[in-house]
Structure 1
Amino acid sequence: MLNKLCILFTLLLVFSLSANATSVEQVEYQSGFQETTIMDDHRPLDIAIWYPTHQTEPREKIGDNIIFEGEYAVRNAKLAGKNHPVILISHGFGGSWRNQVWLASALSHQGYIVASPNHPGTTTKNMDRMVAQNMLERPNDIRRTLTYLLSDPTFSVAIDPLKIGVVGHSYGGLTAIELIGGRFSASLFEHACQTYPFLASCKVYHQQMQSLDKESDYFKLDKNMQDSRIQAAFIFDLGLARGFTKDSLANINIPTLVVSAGDFDKTLPAELESQYLIQNMPSSTTEYLSLDAATHFSFIGICKANATTILKEEEIDDSYICENDTNQRQAIHQLLVDKIISYLH
């Protein structure tokens, strides 16, 4: 079996070379940024949109705080160009669109329109177990976000409708798989959790679904949530994979990149999560990338120099978010940006 670290080194070398070529030929845009809210009595949706622009001022740092580095963009800048690919991002449990500003910024510089909603009920400062229990609302959030872009007078005329992809990290990975045809079975996942009770995804799921009647509609999750407008998917170290039916995974027929992190967290083992997808999805359209140097949190922002110290001093020590991969997170991000571009360019 090939050593995973060797694979990572080789991939980083290959893609660093391709990135250098790309930077000369394709980097021609600045980042524009805007926030909007889709008003809906049922579920208002806050969305961040990054897009290519030629405006350079006034720049501000988006998503910057005492823990994470933000990215520069020109707020409400004029959209530049036509025929732009679209990437939709679904954040992880308890996260927000700010988790992937590194990705949104990098892709907007390359001519992509990137939109990421905050998922009500599972978003930072909006954690609500009752709201989160309807897991099918997450893929609906991404669907509504895409519909908004394709109907908005500014963005719709600048989008290439044949180049639309979805990115999902952690719980967002489940969201993305549902959008490309995976069907989640509550009974199947319950059975998996009896076998592997130590999985972090089982703990989150049971906390979210506690006290619900087993006959509740919330447990009837094996509906077809596929959105045919999406042509590629990128899954970053997902959880809850074992709830997807094997038949539904076998029928996914669009290009999909499944990325797993290393074994820093024993409750998120790649062999029981990401590799479950790989074992059941078509080999002809699915690629697996195992990154031993990555942690589960390598897929969120770059931590500032003193972030670990600050987190250790908090009431709840979350310093693990910024540990282990500190010196490699930027290289991991660049690798993933290049992979996404290679799929949709």
Structure 2
Amino acid sequence: MKWVIRLAVAAVLGVVVLFGAVALLKTKDRPAPDVLPGLALTQVPAPHRDMPLDVTVWYPAQQDGTEELVGQNALFYGHHVRRGATPRDGRHPVVVLSHGSGGNALQLGWIAGELARQGMIVVATDHPGTRLRDSDPFQTVRVWERPLDLSLLLDWIATGPEGLSPDMSRIGALGFSLGGHSVLALAGERVSKQRFIDYCDRNAGLVDCGWMQAAGVDFTTIEQEAYEASRLDRRVGHVLAVDPALPQAVAEGGTDDILARVRILNLGAVETVPEAMRADALADRIERAEYAAVPGAWHFSFLAECSAMGRIVIGLAGDDNICSDSGMRDRGVLHQELRADIAGFFARGFGL
């Protein structure tokens, strides 16, 4: 019996040592770009929620304020900003940004900061119920709440908070995964409850369906009227969705109201993309939509770059290793290409 206790103690000590090392280890800083975006953090009341929204804004800035490295820890690389910097003169187009299920805004700072450096105001929220450390499968099926968050952010940014001067005649939306669906919903995409149920019947135990089914979510109880209602926001003229969720749940005629210019990116060769995110057929249904598949990538290539320790620790956690790019192209190289693709799409649309 004593050897069992000794093994148990050794295992506990091993975990303590490992996570102690992670806490002490500093991910190596990378050089800051010559021009940094401004960053502001605030909260905005949300009548459709029972809590305010936490809001992050990246914006074109003069190079004053306090230089900070945000979103960086022993597991993930962060990005450089100037907290509280004076906004750059002039009126700037706006892009609302929506993270994926279980994510947060700062995870996508690598692309938000690039858009701000190129002259755009980027505003994002950590969507309650589907964010890091607050990811609930019973709230995840309430997909109509996220586009309402994004429309509220547009209402708020239009008031010129934080000394910003948004050009509300030039508005775009960028989303990843569940956020990809959220921004397409802003453009007018509508989904069908029955098509979602049918999709999950085909994919029982897989990806998004499996996670919610394992938690006991009964899809038949989804509020059909809310689920299928249009969340169209005509202010949004340009939409880019990366690996958008729910492409197979889009209703018959569910793209008919889309007038915005749309670009959809799938991460990986088309035939390797899971049905949960494969959107080439969806793009074909949208008038004037652009579609591209990014080779040598997979779904989580869009998240922040991981440190060597991140790849080890997250792999040991037992869940999907969001840091494992085994067999894929270097995530940093992919991010450089994606920055050019995404920023170029919006810059052309906004005339920058």
Cα-to-partner distance string for 1:271-303 (whole Å, 9 max, x where unaligned): x72113112111xx2101111122111222122
Question: Residue 331 in 1 paired to residue 336 in 2?
Answer: yes
Task: Return the TM-score normalized by structure 2.
Answer: 0.80
The amino acid that maps onto 1:262 is G
Partner SS state of residue 256, structure 1: strand
Identify the residue that residue 291 of structure 1 maps to in structure 2.
294
Question: Residue 276 in 1 paired to residue 277 in 2?
Answer: no
Structure 2 residue ranges without an equivalent (≥5): 1-32
Contact 1:50 1:114 in 2 (8 A): yes
Paired with 1:317 and 1:225, the residues of 2 have a C-alpha distance of 32
Structure 1 residue ranges without an equivalent (≥5): 1-26
297-306 or 308-317, larger mean C-alpha shift: 308-317
Cα-to-partner distance string for 1:25-84 (whole Å, 9 max, x where unaligned): xx9953110111113462321111001111245201111122221111111222122220
Question: Residue 179 in 1 paired to residue 186 in 2?
Answer: yes
The amino acid that maps onto 2:178 is Y
Q: Does the C-alpha gap of structure 1 residues 300 and 254 become closer, same or farther in structure 2, counting only changes over 3 Å?
A: same
Identify the residue that residue 14 of structure 1 maps to in structure 2.
none
Task: Return the TM-score normalized by structure 1.
Answer: 0.82
Q: 1:246, CA displacement in angstroms?
A: 3.4
Partner SS state of residue 116, structure 1: strand
Q: 1:312, CA displacement in angstroms?
A: 2.5
Q: Does the C-alpha gap of structure 1 residues 153 and 47 become closer, same or farther in structure 2, counting only changes over 3 Å?
A: closer
The amino acid that maps onto 1:163 is R
258-267 or 83-92, larger mean C-alpha shift: 258-267
Identify the residue that residue 223 of structure 1 maps to in structure 2.
229
Paired with 1:195 and 1:279, the residues of 2 have a C-alpha distance of 22
119-128 or 130-139, larger mean C-alpha shift: 130-139
Paired with 1:299 and 1:239, the residues of 2 have a C-alpha distance of 14
Identify the residue that residue 112 of structure 1 maps to in structure 2.
120
Identify the residue that residue 13 of structure 1 maps to in structure 2.
none
Question: Residue 244 in 1 paired to residue 247 in 2?
Answer: no
Paired with 2:207 and 2:319, the residues of 1 have a C-alpha distance of 18
Select which of 160, 166, 173 maps to 2:173.
166
Identify the residue that residue 210 of structure 1 maps to in structure 2.
217
Q: Does the C-alpha gap of structure 1 residues 90 and 338 become closer, same or farther in structure 2, counting only changes over 3 Å?
A: same
Question: Residue 254 in 1 paired to residue 271 in 2?
Answer: no
Larger radius of gyration: 2
Q: 1:175, CA displacement in angstroms?
A: 0.6
Q: 1:342, CA displacement in angstroms?
A: 2.5
137-146 or 308-317, larger mean C-alpha shift: 308-317
Partner SS state of residue 265, structure 2: strand
Cα-to-partner distance string for 1:193-229 (whole Å, 9 max, x where unaligned): 33444652333454577136x3552564110100111
The amino acid that maps onto 1:311 is I
Paired with 2:235 and 2:292, the residues of 1 have a C-alpha distance of 25
Q: 1:269, CA displacement in angstroms?
A: 4.3
Paired with 1:193 and 1:82, the residues of 2 have a C-alpha distance of 48
Contact 2:66 2:84 in 1 (8 A): no
Q: Does the C-alpha gap of structure 1 residues 326 and 28 become closer, same or farther in structure 2, counting only changes over 3 Å?
A: closer
Q: 1:138, CA displacement in angstroms?
A: 0.6
Q: 1:315, CA displacement in angstroms?
A: 4.9
Q: 1:191, CA displacement in angstroms?
A: 1.8
Contact 1:173 1:239 in 2 (8 A): yes
Question: Residue 140 in 1 paired to residue 143 in 2?
Answer: no
What pairs up with 1:117-128 in 2 under 5 angstroms? 117-128=125-136
Contact 1:29 1:108 in 2 (8 A): no
Q: Does the C-alpha gap of structure 1 residues 317 and 173 become closer, same or farther in structure 2, counting only changes over 3 Å?
A: closer
Q: Does the C-alpha gap of structure 1 residues 87 and 65 become closer, same or farther in structure 2, counting only changes over 3 Å?
A: same
Identify the residue that residue 37 of structure 1 maps to in structure 2.
43
The amino acid that maps onto 2:184 is I
Q: 1:130, CA displacement in angstroms?
A: 3.9
Paired with 2:137 and 2:99, the residues of 1 have a C-alpha distance of 17
Larger relative contact order (CA 8 Å, sep ≥ 6): 1
Q: How many positions carry a matched residue from both structures?
A: 314
Paired with 1:261 and 1:48, the residues of 2 have a C-alpha distance of 26
Contact 1:139 1:178 in 2 (8 A): yes
215-224 or 172-181, larger mean C-alpha shift: 215-224
Q: Does the C-alpha gap of structure 1 residues 228 and 317 become closer, same or farther in structure 2, counting only changes over 3 Å?
A: closer
Q: Percent identity?
A: 24
Paired with 2:211 and 2:245, the residues of 1 have a C-alpha distance of 10
Paired with 1:179 and 1:208, the residues of 2 have a C-alpha distance of 29
Partner SS state of residue 233, structure 1: strand
Q: 1:167, CA displacement in angstroms?
A: 0.6
What pairs up with 1:20-99 in 2 under 5 angstroms? 30-40=36-46, 42-99=50-107
RMSD of aligned alpha carbons: 2.7
Q: Does the C-alpha gap of structure 1 residues 196 and 263 become closer, same or farther in structure 2, counting only changes over 3 Å?
A: farther
